[in-house]
Chain A
Amino acid sequence: MRIVYKTEEGGVAVIIPADTIEACMKDIPTGAEYYIVEDSEVPSDRTFRDAWTWE
């Protein structure tokens, strides 16, 4: 599982847990819109990583 949130700059950040999702919910910036997704939903091709957006 991953946590995806929208950054203030309009991009996307991805939180990769060391252990459980619950243990890293605190790592989401306050007020950020976030989504919990499967690992497979995050692209492994990072060629255009900085252009990622979340719809």
Chain B
Amino acid sequence: MVQELLLLFLLDNDGWYYNMSTIINADTSGGLKLTSDTSGQLELQSAGSTKVTMDTSGNVGIEKDTLLSFYPADQSYANIKFEWDTGDAGYLHSTAFNGMKWTTNGSERMRIDSSGNLKFNSGYGSVATAYGCRAWVNFNGTGTVAIRDSGNVSSITDSGVGIYLVNFTTNMPDINYSVSLVSGSNMNNTTLHNTLVLTSSYRIHNLNDAGSYADASLIMSQVVR
């Protein structure tokens, strides 16, 4: 066993240098190298580079760009991996065939299956695929037409009295999505133009009780796909 003095220093609050860790280094030339101090902090190194640190509170840190993997007993593959990329994005990988499950209080609450479907319970009664609201908008179609708030909507187009287009920020994958519409007037009938449902937009018609186009001060719409 080789003992080696490593010069690892940090500044403390008073500006003094102090040794920071006990180090276990799997060195590529000298084999196992140990550096001991009384800091109470432990570092695991590979070829002199710290990969894992346990501080004095027992917190364990994995260095950026170091992959943390959990292997099954036969070591055949890593079925869960935690990783950072160089862009500081974090990844949680699962290579298990059944996807990933989240449980609380002994019951499954959420799952991403092997096809990428997000499933959750959240009061539904079972863990089932959640179909997302892909776009929504709440706007005033009278006076100075204005969007109150929206999601995945780049704009609305005022095309005339009672006629509005909702334009998507990110297009739908096809035109088989479902649209819900409602206006704030119980005298209005808000409908969808059946040939102008596109991947990039859809067209709303708002009619009054006489069947004529009419503006509405409150129109709300959601897209589910």
Q: Interface residues, chain A, CB within 8 Å of chain B? A: 3, 7, 11, 13-19, 23-24, 26-27, 39, 42, 44-46, 49-50
Whole-angstrom CA separation of A25 from B23 in the bound complex: 58
Interchain CB contact under 8 A, B161 and A18: no
Interchain CB contact under 8 A, A46 and B161: yes
Interchain CB contact under 8 A, B154 and A18: yes
The chain B residue with its CB closest to the CB of A20 is B154
Chain A residues within an 8 Å CB radius of B161: 46, 49-50
Whole-angstrom CA separation of A39 from B158 in the bound complex: 13
B144 is an interface residue with CB less than 8 A from chain A: yes
Interchain CB contact under 8 A, A16 and B154: no
Number of B residues, CB within 8 Å of A: 24
Interchain CB contact under 8 A, A16 and B145: yes
A-B contact count (CB 8 A): 67
Q: Interface residues, chain B, CB within 8 Å of chain A? A: 137, 139, 142-147, 150, 153-161, 165, 167, 169, 200-201, 215
Interchain CB contact under 8 A, B169 and A42: no
Chain B residues within an 8 Å CB radius of A23: 154-155, 169
Give min CB distance, B58 to chain A, whole Å: 46
Whole-angstrom CA separation of A27 from B157 in the bound complex: 8
Whole-angstrom CA separation of A11 from B160 in the bound complex: 8
